[in-house]
């Protein structure tokens, strides 16, 4: 077992998300008395400890990136429904591996929240579009995601076109063999906006535009992280994408943030909208956490899911030229940038049920079944 002391100022809770990706030789871990305890194969212990210590030394947590700018905060004295009650109640089915199913009123909540956030987009004159789930690897690579956050990637491979091999694919063991599949040509996209850039590749648009879509997204969050409430490998996002001039994109993003803050207060949802950064784990990418925070490129809508716990249910992002340049997207030949807002629908349902409970009599009045059936 590897034992590494944790200093008081080290953000171990945020660092935990990285442990799964350090090495497949790690079989488990726990934190005890300000010490990180790592279980692993003894043959890897010495090299692995060196790697872990190095990654901890280079890791930047929130205390390193500066104090978040809180745009709005809504706090109230409420009692929370426990995560266990939400996941084991009649509304949610949890498979324990980052997948959940919605039942009964949770389905209505999902559709209700999607309609609210879709409404935000339509008020800005958005065009609604639909895209396939699969994203070609070439387009995925052009987004820069493989350079920035490759750990989330989930690739799709096809069965080898060989009848002898196809006939052998009758057992789980055989299906797991890499010899039976071709190199991946598609990915399951970790971000809903990527399909928009594929759609508009090489185009010169006549004017600034906003596109909205509801898309499935997929993320490999790491084998030790599925225990976290709301950590999902497969969920849906109501996405709003802005393409145009810097003023148009920034202004549009800010309008959606304002609508979100207004809605949070109207509904009595406990949470905040504040600046944030992505969870980069590649050492060379750590500096971008600071850049995102300093330039206010990313904000998150964080809802309380316990007395001291929060969960991000939406993000508001500015991309600059990161996507318009590699995909060759322009608006009338002027400098064209993008931004996006993504609302995680299943995460929104989970946060709502944690705050308002499983008894509809405690829900906001216009969301109760009796009011909906009038």
Which pLDDT tens digit goes with each residue over 239-249? 999 999 999 99
- In terms of residues, how long is the chain? 374
CA 29 to chain centre: 24
- Say whether 327 sits in a helix, a strand or coil: helix
How does pLDDT run along the chain (374 residues), one tens digit per residue? 888 888 887 888 888 888 888 888 898 999 988 899 999 887 888 888 888 888 888 776 665 666 788 999 998 888 999 999 999 999 999 999 999 999 999 999 999 999 999 999 999 999 999 999 999 999 999 998 888 888 889 999 888 888 877 777 766 555 555 567 788 999 999 999 999 999 999 999 999 999 999 999 999 988 888 889 999 999 999 999 999 999 999 999 999 999 999 999 999 999 999 988 766 556 565 666 676 767 788 999 999 999 989 999 999 999 999 999 999 999 998 889 999 999 999 999 999 999 999 999 999 988 887 667 65
- Say whether 64 sits in a helix, a strand or coil: helix
Q: How far apart are CA 310 and CA 13, in angstroms?
A: 13
- Residue pair 209/310 in contact by the 8 Å Cβ criterion: no
Helix axes 246-267, 105-123, angle to 10 degrees: 140
- Supply the pLDDT for residue 285: 59
Q: How far apart are CA 108 and CA 132, in angstroms?
A: 24
Q: What is the DSSP letter of 334?
A: B
- Supply the pLDDT for residue 16: 84
Query: Which class for 19: exposed (0-12), middle (13-18), buried (19 or more C-beta within 10 A)?
Result: buried
Which pLDDT tens digit goes with each residue over 36-51? 999 988 788 888 888 8
Extended strands (E) in the chain? 2-5, 26-32, 35-40, 70-74, 92-94, 100-102, 127-128, 134-136, 155-156, 186-188, 204-205, 209-218, 234-244, 271-275, 298-304, 310-320, 330-331, 337-344
Q: How far apart are CA 323 and CA 70, in angstroms?
A: 27
User: How is residue 168 written in tokens?
Assistant: 């052998």
- Supply the pLDDT for residue 370: 64
Q: How far apart are CA 282 and CA 148, in angstroms?
A: 7
Q: Name, in order, each residue with C-beta under 8 angstroms of 220's C-beta and a sequence gap of 6 or more.
A: 151, 152, 153, 154, 233
Q: How far apart are CA 302 and CA 271, in angstroms?
A: 5
Q: How far apart are CA 250 and CA 242, in angstroms?
A: 9
Pairing assessment for the beta strands 100-102 and 70-74 based on DSSP bridges:
unpaired
- Residue pair 246/337 in contact by the 8 Å Cβ criterion: yes
Q: How far apart are CA 348 and CA 106, in angstroms?
A: 10
Q: How far apart are CA 347 and CA 155, in angstroms?
A: 23
Pairing assessment for the beta strands 298-304 and 234-244 based on DSSP bridges:
unpaired
Q: How far apart are CA 346 and CA 218, in angstroms?
A: 13
User: How is residue 229 written in tokens?
Assistant: 């409430």
């Amino acid at each position: 077992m590897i034992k590494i002391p944790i200093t008081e100022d080290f953000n171990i809770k945020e660092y935990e998300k990285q442990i799964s990706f350090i090495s497949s030789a790690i079989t488990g871990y726990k934190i005890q008395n300000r010490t990180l305890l790592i279980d692993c194969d003894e043959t890897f212990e010495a090299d692995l400890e060196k790697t872990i210590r190095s990654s901890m030394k280079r890791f930047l947590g929130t205390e390193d990136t500066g104090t978040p700018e809180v745009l709005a905060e809504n706090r109230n004295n409420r009692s929370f429904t426990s995560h266990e009650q939400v996941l084991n109640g009649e509304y949610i089915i949890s498979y324990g591996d980052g997948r959940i199913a919605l039942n009964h009123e949770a389905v209505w909540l999902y559709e209700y929240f999607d309609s609210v956030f879709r409404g935000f987009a339509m008020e800005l004159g958005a065009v609604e579009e639909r895209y396939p789930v699969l994203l070609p690897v070439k387009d995925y690579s052009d987004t820069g995601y493989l350079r920035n956050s490759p750990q989330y990637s989930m690739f799709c491979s096809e069965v080898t076109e060989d009848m002898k091999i196809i006939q052998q694919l009758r057992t789980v063991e055989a299906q797991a063999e890499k010899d039976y599949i071709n190199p991946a040509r598609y990915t399951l996209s970790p971000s809903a906006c990527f399909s928009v850039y594929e759609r508009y590749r090489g185009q010169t648009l006549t004017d600034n535009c906003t596109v909205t879509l509801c898309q499935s997204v997929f993320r490999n969050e790491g084998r030790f992280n599925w225990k976290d409430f709301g950590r999902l490998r497969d969920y849906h996002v109501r996405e709003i994408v802005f393409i145009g001039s810097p003023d148009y994109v920034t202004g549009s993003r800010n309008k959606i943030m304002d609508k979100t803050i207004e809605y949070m207060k109207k509904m009595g949802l406990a949470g905040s909208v504040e600046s944030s950064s992505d969870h980069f784990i590649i050492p060379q990418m750590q500096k971008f956490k600071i850049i995102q925070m300093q330039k206010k490129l990313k904000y998150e809508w964080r809802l309380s899911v316990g007395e001291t716990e929060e969960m991000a249910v939406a993000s508001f992002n500015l991309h600059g030229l990161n996507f318009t340049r590699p995909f060759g997207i322009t608006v009338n030949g002027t400098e064209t940038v993008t931004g996006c807002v993504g609302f995680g629908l299943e995460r929104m349902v989970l946060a709502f049920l944690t705050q308002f409970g499983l008894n509809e009599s405690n829900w906001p009045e216009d969301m109760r079944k009796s009011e909906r059936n009038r």
